[in-house]
Amino acid sequence: MADFETLDYDVLVIGAGGAGLRAAIEAEAVGCRVGLVCKSLLGKAHTVMAEGGAAAAMANVDERDSWRVHFADTMRGGQYVNNWRMAELHAQEAPARIRELEAWGAVFDRTDDGRILQRNFGGHRYPRLAHVGDRTGLEIIRTLQDRVVHRAGIEVHMECTVLRLLKDPSTSSGQAGRVTGAFGYDRERGRFRVWRARAVVLATGGIGKAFKITSNSWEYTGDGHALAYEAGAELMDMEFVQFHPTGMVWPPSVRGILVTEGVRGEGGVLTNRDGRRFMFDDIPDNYRAQTADTPEEGWRYTQGDKNARRPPELLTRDHVARCIVREVREGRGSPHGGVFLDIAWIKEKLPDAEAHIRRKLPSMYHQFKQLADIDITKTPMEVGPTTHYVMGGVRVDGDSQMSSVPGLFAAGEVAAGLHGANRLGGNSLSDLLVFGRRAGEHAACFAKESAVPTIDAAQVDAAARDALAPFERVGGEGAYAVQHALQEMMQDLVGIVRREEEMRRALDGIVALRERAKHVSVVGHREYNPGWHTALDLANLLVVSEAVARAAIDRRESRGGHFRDDYPAKDPAAATYNTVLRRGADGEMQLERRPIPPMRDDLKAIIQEMG
């Protein structure tokens, strides 16, 4: 093995968003020495872009809320293919995690009597999202980051990318196949690094950059999903990709940037080119009893009337996104291929509406004013679906967050299970806190019970050769061209509306793009070379794209974020399994339908009680 810088930790956390920071804090709190690796600068993780709030049944605004209602809402939103144990733990523990953040210095919006204010959001029966205007993710990261930098046992490695997980190659040791650390490089100077660790936590976020139109930042290239898969861990539910219904659509330079669901939670309405509130035309049967019959009732709900039901704009994201696509396809869309989201209309209801909108939605006001020259207090916004979140990820144990690889844990968006077929807005931020803490706790326990691992020099040398290979090819294609072709293909063939023939074309296309990626060449040297960084991301993007396509082809029904135009109905039999993918001995991706364990009777009773 070459003389690479080697760093030793008890627990290595890869990713410094909400889940990674919370995992690092917890592991350090029980006495572990923690390494925290982040692809960008500390504090710049994609969590800062989460706007609407963190879902937790604190019942500060409506005393009828409870963990039981939150659990039932999450299971219904996920269309019952969730890991029910994770849904239970999340609903039970989220309030404590929010209060913990408050104790650590997070400043939330307040009710008149000084409690944490909670707002309405799609799919949640009661106001449940603790928030800071529309900048909640930023406040969570600020609070957790402050906690991390004051902990002596946590060392942060900024602007570093992990390229491979390292494993114990022996077959005789008591922990054969366990993870032993990671290999990567610093993005600034291109120097390789080896991190030796007794346990590793993946907290790398999602896969949005596999698609052309996305709200995700540049880091979201499926790194954690691919690292786990290549290390032998199982991926689950990769067919379930969430297309957030409201991203910016105009001008082209801002297409896909997120427009928070909080706009609708504060009374914003969706209309087509004819001014019709089309969401009233398509209310799913399982939500009809909870949905307003009239615009007036919907407005009263957003203003806190406990006797009113939510407006259809606050139905689940998968349903709202499909309704928007239908309006556009049938010729009733806005001029630039979306629909209208109107919050300015509340001037008909409130005397000081413009100031109210700027106070409740400051980021949205500035975002549209600066990027699109639109004043949302006066003019409707044009919005359309944007790739936002992947419900699928590394299959983990619901309690410990450990994957099928010993010593490898995952939390946050990179982990599957909690959200099932569709995530409810706001559940992601509380997910980060609840399961980031659990992953850190259990990774620390695993580390304390494990011997110091030995790094396999052959694995490190092979990873280094693979990383440098693009420099040694002359006259090859550039990495950006391959990445762009993949994004275009995934958007067109494995997007919000899917058909088997198109997805099989995508699989063929992925094979061809993988071959192109083998011949990509990079000019220049290792320092400050974004072309090299992109070339190294390609392998991860191709793994997650293949996983999404294969899982989506196999699920011959429509459920949650997965909509099949050729199989538009739900199949009751398909609610009994999760799609599990693994790397076969021959290197090919293998698929299995894994039965969902029977739910406990007490939890079944909660779902039946909530209707």
Contact 524, 190 (CB under 8 A): no
Q: Where are the alpha helices (DSSP H) in 8-78?
A: 18-29, 67-77
Name the strand (E) or helix (H) holding 322. Answer: helix 317-329
Q: How many CB atoms lie within 10 A of CB 301?
A: 22
Backbone angles phi, psi at 384, to 5 degrees: -160, 170
Cβ neighbours of residue 447 under 8 Å, at least 6 residues apart?
A: 10, 11, 27, 32, 197, 198, 199, 407
Q: One of 244, 319, 419, 423 is an active-site residue; which one?
A: 244
Counting every residue written for the chain, the total comes to 611
DSSP sequence for 354-394: HHHHHHH-HHHHHHHHHHH---TTTSPEEEEEEEEEES-EE
Backbone angles phi, psi at 389, to 5 degrees: -160, 150
Cβ neighbours of residue 468 under 8 Å, at least 6 residues apart?
A: none
Backbone angles phi, psi at 498, to 5 degrees: -120, 150
Q: Where are the alpha helices (DSSP H) in 419-478?
A: 427-448, 457-472
Cβ neighbours of residue 172 under 8 Å, at least 6 residues apart?
A: none
Angle between helices 136-149 and 427-448 (to 10 degrees): 20
Q: One of 135, 147, 198, 264 is an active-site residue; which one?
A: 264
Contact 560, 579 (CB under 8 A): no
Q: Which residue has the tokens 């350090």?
A: 28
CA distance 545 to 329: 26
Residue 264 appears among annotated catalytic residues: yes
Residue whose C-alpha is closest to residue 129's, from 265, 314, 259, 258? 265
Compute CA distances 110 → 73, 161, 519, whole Å: 24, 39, 56
CA distance 315 to 283: 8
Burial of 4 per CB tally in 10 Å (0-12, 13-18, 19+): middle
Q: Are strands 381-390 and 339-342 parallel, antiparallel or unpaired?
A: antiparallel
State the amino acid at position 245 in one-letter form: P
Q: Which residue has the tokens 């695993």?
A: 446
What is the four-CA torsion angle of 161, 165, 166, 167, rounded to 10 degrees?
170
The helix/strand/coil state of 38 is coil
Contact 447, 199 (CB under 8 A): yes
Burial of 191 per CB tally in 10 Å (0-12, 13-18, 19+): middle
Residue 555 appears among annotated catalytic residues: no
Q: What amino acid positions are annotated as catalytic residues?
A: 244, 264
